[in-house]
């Protein structure tokens, strides 16, 4: 899956900058540039990619702690502004806010980190991206508050090295040549924090900290920002991706090399299911064939005169009924059986049944008054082996097929 990272210019002004620094990869692997910087080009010349993400520099973003009420939806930004109004140095309407959950262990500690940046310049850049056909999926910071202490040293525009430091209590940018690093950060941070530096600032960082640092190019740092646990496009800047676009992005994500084991696992699972279903169907077919063979063998053994077998069960029932009728025995659904059921349901003291007719295992009762018919239908209906139906003014009684 191709990926395009675009760095917003600093300072964060409107999109008057003709060129943007960017990084592009065809296979979601970090691009390799000799100097460690991205390439530069105007928006119209940027390559098209399956996924487009914008990066915002450290000096364009502030992080403030906030304890927010449990509010969701459209009221959330208003709640954020109400809680943080005294901490903001500008009108909240001129600022863009985004939330990162804060795993505070204190009962009354902050519940979120709030990212704060200028709204209108950011909106202007996003609109310029859209006008150029670049649909930005996420806006990512290069640094953010996290439990593990760390930092990155880079050379500022004025040539002075600056340290972007973070830990569980927040994020700060400090001049590397200031004498207050030890006082501001503490001995533990200076001794144990994982610090990286750009190639041009690595020597100054090691001299100021008194220990080695990891050399991290701009390309490596920009690519690492893809793991940021926050997308700053929130509230009114949330990307409007619905329906098919979300499905398409999910499909593109699954095509990345990272998801290759998952794809092979799904293919293997489908193959196992197909093989298993076919094996089960084959076993069931064998069992059905064996049962049919047993029924046919029993029919031939019991009734040798049957030469052609179409439905062994039905033919066996017919032959059995014929033998029973020839022997003069009463069977289910015969006249005697149905009359016995009517006799059990007929109210005592009532006059005899006015009319009876028996034909093809069906007993028809006629001449009943409406109250008699209703009462008899109700009582006969309680017998689950009988089927009772109205035939005009008469009742028709028969044995249910499944009970024969």
- pLDDT by residue (tens digit) across 327-340? 655 555 566 777 78
C-alpha span between 320 and 340 (Å, rounded): 22
pLDDT at 404: 54
pLDDT range class, residue 149, cuts 50, 70, 90: very high
Q: Same structural domain for residues 385 and 369? A: yes
Q: Which domain holds residue 122?
A: 3-144+228-255
pLDDT tens for each residue of 270-297: 999 999 999 999 999 999 989 888 888 8
Q: How far apart, in Å, are the Cα atoms of 281 and each of 98, 182, 267, 275, 287? A: 55, 74, 21, 10, 10
Q: Determine, yes or no, domain membership for 21.
A: yes
User: Over 70: is that where the pLDDT of 246 sits?
Assistant: no
In a domain, 9, yes or no: yes
Tell me the pLDDT of the chain averaged across its residues.
83
Domain termination site, one of 307, 329, 351: 329
Same domain as 197, residue 123: no
Residue 349, pLDDT > 80, answer: no
Residue 243: what pLDDT? 46
Give the model confidence (pLDDT) of 153-171 as tens digits.
998 777 789 999 998 888 9
| Residue 244 resides in a domain | yes
Give per-residue pLDDT as tens, 217-235: 999 999 999 988 999 999 8
Domain presence at residue 75: yes
Statement: residue 260 has pLDDT above 50: yes
User: 123 and 61, same structural domain?
Assistant: yes
* pLDDT beyond 60 at 35: no
Q: What is the pLDDT of residue 142?
A: 93
Could you tell me if residue 383 is inside a domain?
yes
| Domain annotation covers residue 219 | no
Is residue 218 included in any domain, yes or no?
A: no
* CA 321-323-329 angle, 5° bins: 80
Is there a single domain that holds both residue 126 and residue 234?
A: yes
Mark whether 185 and 325 lie in a shared domain.
Answer: no
CATH number of the domain enclosing 246: 3.30.420.380
* 50 CB neighbour count, 10 Å cutoff: 18
| pLDDT of res. 242 | 45
Work out the average pLDDT over 298-315. 82
Together in a domain, 362 and 351? yes
**Based on the domain organization, do 234 and 277 belong to the same domain?**
no
pLDDT score of 232 = 94
Task: Flag the least confident range among 79-93, 205-219, 225-239, 339-353.
Answer: 339-353
* Residue 12 and residue 51 in one domain: yes
Tell me: do 163 and 238 sit in the same domain.
no
Same domain, 377 and 308: no
Q: Are residues 344 and 299 in the same domain?
A: no
* Last residue within a domain, chosen from 294, 329, 364: 329
CB-neighbour burial class of residue 333 (10 A; exposed 0-12, middle 13-18, buried 19+): buried
Percent of residues, the chain, with pLDDT higher than 70: 87
Number of independent structural domains in the chain: 4
Q: Give me the CATH number covering residue 391.
A: 3.30.1360
Peptide bond connecting 11 to the previous residue in cis, omega within 30 degrees of 0? yes
Element at 139 (helix H, strand E): strand 138-141
Residue 195 in tokens: 């610090």
**Residue 34 in this model has a pLDDT that exceeds 50:** no
What is the pLDDT averaged over residues 244-262? 69
Residues 28 and 85 in one domain: yes
Asked whether residue 322 is assigned to any structural domain, the reply reads: yes
277, 294, 329 - which closes a domain:
329
Q: What is the pLDDT of residues 40-91, one digit of tens each?
A: 999 989 998 888 999 999 989 999 988 888 877 778 888 888 888 888 878 8
């Amino acid at each position: 899956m191709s990926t395009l990272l675009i760095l917003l210019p600093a300072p964060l002004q409107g999109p008057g900058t003709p060129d943007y620094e960017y990084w592009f990869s065809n296979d979601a692997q970090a691009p390799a540039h000799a100097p460690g910087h991205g390439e530069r080009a105007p928006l119209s010349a940027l390559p098209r990619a399956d996924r487009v993400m914008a990066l915002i520099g450290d000096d364009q973003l502030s992080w403030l702690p906030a304890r927010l009420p449990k509010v969701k939806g459209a009221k959330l930004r208003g709640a954020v502004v109400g809680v943080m109004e005294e901490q903001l140095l500008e009108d909240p309407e001129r600022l863009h806010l985004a939330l990162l959950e804060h795993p505070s262990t204190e009962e009354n500690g902050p519940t979120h980190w709030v990212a704060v940046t200028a709204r209108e310049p950011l909106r202007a850049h996003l609109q310029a991206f859209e006008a150029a056909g670049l649909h930005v999926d996420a806006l990512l910071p290069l640094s953010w508050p996290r439990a593990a202490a760390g930092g990155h040293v880079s050379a500022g525009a004025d040539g002075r090295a600056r340290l972007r430091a973070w830990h569980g209590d927040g994020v700060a940018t400090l001049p590397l040549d200031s004498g207050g690093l030890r006082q501001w950060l503490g001995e533990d941070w200076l001794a144990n924090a994982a610090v990286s530096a750009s190639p041009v600032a690595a020597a100054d960082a090691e001299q100021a900290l008194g220990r080695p640092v990891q050399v991290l190019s701009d390309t490596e740092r920009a690519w690492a920002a893809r793991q940021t646990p926050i997308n700053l496009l929130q509230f009114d800047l949330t990307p409007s991706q619905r329906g098919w676009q979300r499905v398409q992005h999910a499909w593109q994500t699954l095509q990345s090399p990272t998801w290759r084991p998952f794809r092979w696992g799904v293919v293997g699972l489908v193959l196992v299911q197909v093989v298993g279903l076919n094996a089960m169907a084959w076993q069931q077919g064998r069992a059905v064939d064996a049962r049919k063979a047993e029924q046919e063998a029993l029919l031939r053994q019991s009734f040798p005169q049957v030469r052609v077998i179409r439905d062994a069960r039905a033919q066996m029932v017919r032959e059995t009924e014929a033998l029973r009728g020839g022997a003069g025995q009463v069977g289910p659904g015969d006249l005697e059986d149905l009359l016995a059921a009517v006799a059990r349901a007929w109210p005592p003291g009532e006059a005899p049944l006015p009319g009876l007719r028996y034909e093809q295992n069906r007993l028809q009762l006629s001449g009943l008054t409406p109250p008699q018919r209703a009462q008899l239908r109700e009582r006969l209906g309680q017998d689950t082996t009988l089927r009772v139906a109205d035939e005009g003014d008469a009742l028709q009684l028969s044995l249910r097929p499944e009970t024969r």
